[in-house]
Amino acid sequence: MEQFDVVVIGAGAAGMFCAALAGQGGCRVLLLDNGKKAGRKILMSGGGRCNFTNMYTEPAAYLSQNPHFCKSALARYTQWDFIDLVNRHGIAYHEKTLGQLFCDDSAQQIVDLLLKECDQGKVTLRLRSEVLAVAQSDNGYTLTLNGAEVGARAVVVASGGLSMPGLGASPFGYKLAEQFGLKVLPTRAALVPFTLHKPLLEHLQTLSGVSVPSVVTAENGVTFKESILFTHRGLSGPAILQLSSYWQPGEFVTVNLLPGLDLAAFLERERQAHPNQSLKNTLAQQLPKRLVECLQTLGQLPDVTLKQLNAPQQAALIESLQAWRVQPNGTEGYRTAEVTLGGVDTRALSSKTMMANSVPGLYFIGEVVDVTGWLGGYNFQWAWSSAWACAQALIADKP
């Protein structure tokens, strides 16, 4: 049986980076993935340009039942460290918005960076190689693959979450954690669009493709100021994706479609200047015309002129535009979700090394762990930081 110092399960962002660093630190590393390409999610990410980190990365941008857990790794391998690596590889990038850094050309450049780093670490990469089982042995672990068995002193589980099953996502990492007695917190799709009930959906479907800068608020008070996008299934756009991580089934979300505008004062000014102007045309100065027309068919916008608009109608209008309460009937689920909330309970792991406290030599990194970032490069940064922390421990532990 072939023997390695470390076997890394999953050639995604976290697994490739960890394998490369451990290899460069002198470990004999085998990196396995069930797919036919390494870094498949990276290639899909950021619309093909990979939003590889966020300049404003900080622990507050991560959800976890143990919010302190991510602090150590994020502080020891920061966004600036990864940006430095990207610079060393000569990859051009730009800030799109809110600190989000994207490749100028293609996400393939980040995959190539990781492959080159793996080469430098003399990592053995095997694709189309699914890990079926892991068992403890006298000197570490024995892994059963499709067609072979390999041995290793340490195993790094970087098998990701459940989002995008078409890209090889599997519950393997969670099952492995449970097999070794670690708790796995309930998982659910996050950074995912909302679906809506009929008949509201039927009305809003006419707006499919319309995007509006908004402020959205969850029932727990968490707020995001970004765009929302109307889709043929419901609501999406960065503000909605962010909020989905904080939403529980049955809850309402509140949408302010005119953030930063004193709507009462605006209507008063317009009334003074053009009393016979229709309310519809007045609002079309501030909102997409299709949205205004849709609000009218929904009965939320009376067919009146500004001088006819009475006080109760105005109050109701302001409420429906600036505190629109929507109750999603669900999310689009793992099929389109960018990430999975929940996962391996971090209380069972060392925040310094990512090793399971009760299982020497078994490590969990990246998305399989109960650490989920906001939209905007935070999830890749967690992959890099947790991989780095784990690799330092693997190197320190090598014979």
Ligand X SMILES: Cc1cc2nc3c(=O)[nH]c(=O)nc-3n(C[C@H](O)[C@H](O)[C@H](O)COP(=O)(O)OP(=O)(O)OC[C@H]3O[C@@H](n4cnc5c(N)ncnc54)[C@H](O)[C@@H]3O)c2cc1C
Contacting residues toward ligand X, per CB under 6 A: 9-15, 32-35, 40-41, 44-46, 50-51, 130-131, 158-160, 163-164, 168, 170, 172, 338-339, 366-367, 377-380, 383
Tabulate helix, strand, coil % of the chain (nearest 5): 35, 25, 35
Our CB check for ligand X shows the closer of 9 and 20 to be 9
Residue with structure tokens 């000014």?
A: 269
Q: Which two tokens stand for residue 137?
A: 């042995």
Least Å distance, CB 395 to ligand X, is 19
Least Å distance, CB 29 to ligand X, is 15
Our CB check for ligand X shows the closer of 163 and 346 to be 163
Residue with structure tokens 């990469």?
A: 125
Our CB check for ligand X shows the closer of 44 and 261 to be 44
Least Å distance, CB 319 to ligand X, is 35
To 10 degrees, what angle do helices 108-120 and 13-24 make?
30
Judge contact between 109 and 87, C-beta under 8 A: no
Our CB check for ligand X shows the closer of 43 and 287 to be 43
Our CB check for ligand X shows the closer of 106 and 278 to be 106
Least Å distance, CB 20 to ligand X, is 13
Letter string b/e over residues 95-133, b meaning 16 or more CB atoms within 10 A of that residue's CB: eeeebbbbbeeebbbbbebbbebbeebebbbeeebbbee
Using CA of residue 276, residue 279, residue 281, residue 285, what is the dihedral sign?
positive
Least Å distance, CB 175 to ligand X, is 9
Our CB check for ligand X shows the closer of 295 and 362 to be 362
| Cβ neighbourhood burial of 159 (10 Å; 0-12, 13-18, 19+) | buried
Our CB check for ligand X shows the closer of 270 and 332 to be 332
Our CB check for ligand X shows the closer of 96 and 274 to be 96
Residue with structure tokens 């399989």?
A: 368
To 10 degrees, what angle do helices 79-88 and 378-396 make?
90
Judge contact between 74 and 385, C-beta under 8 A: yes
Using Cβ positions, the residue closest to ligand X within the complex turns out to be: 12
Least Å distance, CB 204 to ligand X, is 24
Our CB check for ligand X shows the closer of 11 and 253 to be 11
Least Å distance, CB 253 to ligand X, is 22
Judge contact between 370 and 344, C-beta under 8 A: yes
How large is the C-alpha radius of gyration of the chain?
25
Least Å distance, CB 34 to ligand X, is 4
Give which of 165, 225, 188 is closest to 370, Cα–Cα. Answer: 188
Least Å distance, CB 9 to ligand X, is 5
Where helices occur in 25-137 by DSSP H, the ranges are 40-44, 69-76, 79-88, 108-120
